């Protein structure tokens, strides 16, 4: 499931975050990938242990915790601390076609987590740069994504994807992974669509017996499929 979640951050939050990020020390993005990824990756990232990255990442996690749409779509068991990248017109920075690694270590601990859901939070507006689209590939073709600052795109971590070369300006984003309580994307999609339909029925007709029954089916399916 590919889902656009608007206004995860307000314009004021984005502006404050960008002030902190723009003053930070960035490094070559190839430092964070394996040999395969390093062949197609040309961008810059904040180091995972950067105090700026950690502080701004906590702000993003707080915003996600307040987003009912993100919870419904991702059904998060745990979410990695957000990372930050930027792509510039200098060198036509890009990230070629790749797939995210299935497992990642949780920073500051010996634990590993499974990457089920990938997320990109845009921290600049589409008119700030040319190129730089996130392209997600699935069985229905290629989907090009370029969102307003503060908006989030979520998609299955199993998807091949790339970032097109930036030919003018600069693209700044945060990205992170979530281990879902429901690892299968088809099941997550079914639960998401059911949850949204139930919410719509309740808003239109109130707590009818039918809405209560459907809510029970939703939770029983979640109980059946969830892993923690």
Q: What is the DSSP letter of 127?
A: G
Chain mean pLDDT for the chain: 96
Of the candidates 87, 88, 76, 97, the residue with the CA atom closest to the CA atom of residue 176: 76
38 — pLDDT class (breaks 50, 70, 90): confident
DSSP calls for 169-188: EEEEEEEEEEEESS--HHHH
Q: Give yes or no for residue 119 having a pLDDT over 90.
A: yes
**Could you read off the pLDDT of 121-157 as tens digits, one per residue?**
999 999 999 999 999 999 999 999 999 999 999 999 9
Domain 185-225 classification at class level: few secondary structures
Same fold, 3-180 and 185-225: no
Looking at domain 3-180, its CATH architecture is Sandwich (2.60)
DSSP calls for 13-61: HHHHHHHHHHTSPPEEGGGGS-HHHHTTEE-EE--TT-HHHHHHHHHHH
* CA 202 centroid distance within chain: 29
Which residue is listed with tokens 């957000």?
A: 82
**Could you read off the pLDDT of 153-201 as tens digits, one per residue?**
999 999 999 999 999 999 999 999 999 999 999 999 999 999 999 999 9
Q: Give yes or no for residue 32 having a pLDDT over 80.
A: no
The b-or-e profile of 48-58 (16+ CB within 10 A means b, else e) is bebebbbebbe
Of the candidates 176, 171, 146, 175, the residue with the CA atom closest to the CA atom of residue 43: 171
Q: Give yes or no for residue 36 having a pLDDT over 80.
A: no
pTM for the model = 0.96
Of the candidates 154, 63, 146, 144, the residue with the CA atom closest to the CA atom of residue 116: 154
Task: Quote the CA–CA distance of 29 and 46 in Å, as a whole number.
Answer: 8
Contact 108, 47 (CB under 8 A): no
Laid out side by side, the sheet with 160-163 consists of: 41-42, 94-98, 160-163, 134-138, 141-145
30 — pLDDT class (breaks 50, 70, 90): confident
In the prediction, which pLDDT does 37 show? Answer: 74
Task: Quote the CA–CA distance of 105 and 163 in Å, as a whole number.
Answer: 24
Ordered by start, the domain boundaries in the chain are: 3-180, 185-225
Token digits of residue 210: 């039918």
**Could you read off the pLDDT of 6-23 as tens digits, one per residue?**
999 999 999 999 999 999
Q: Which helix (H) or strand (E) holds 88?
A: strand 83-88
Q: Percent of the chain scored above 90 by pLDDT?
A: 92
Task: Quote the CA–CA distance of 204 and 101 in Å, as a whole number.
Answer: 42
Which residue is listed with tokens 């500051």?
A: 108
């Amino acid at each position: 499931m590919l889902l656009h979640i608007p206004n995860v951050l307000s314009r004021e939050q984005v502006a404050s975050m960008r002030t902190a990020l723009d003053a930070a020390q960035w490094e070559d993005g190839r430092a964070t990938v394996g040999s395969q990824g390093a062949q197609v990756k040309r961008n810059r990232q904040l180091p995972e242990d950067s105090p700026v990255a950690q502080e701004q990442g906590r702000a993003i996690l707080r915003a996600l915790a307040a987003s009912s749409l993100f919870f419904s779509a991702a059904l998060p068991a745990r979410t990695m601390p957000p990372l930050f990248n930027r792509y510039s017109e200098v060198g036509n920075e890009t990230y070629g076609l790749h797939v995210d690694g299935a497992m990642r270590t949780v920073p500051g601990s010996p634990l590993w987590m499974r990457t089920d859901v990938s997320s990109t939070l845009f921290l600049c507006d589409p008119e700030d740069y040319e190129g730089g689209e996130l392209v997600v590939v699935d069985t229905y073709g290629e989907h090009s994504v370029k969102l307003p600052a503060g908006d989030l795109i979520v998609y299955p971590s199993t998807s091949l994807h790339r970032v097109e070369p930036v030919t003018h300006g600069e693209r700044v984003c945060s990205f992170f992974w979530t281990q879902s309580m429901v690892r299968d994307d088809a099941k997550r999609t079914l639960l998401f669509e059911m949850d949204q339909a139930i919410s719509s029925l309740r808003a239109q007709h109130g707590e009818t017996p039918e809405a209560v029954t459907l809510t029970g089916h939703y939770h029983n399916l979640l109980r059946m499929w969830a892993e923690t």
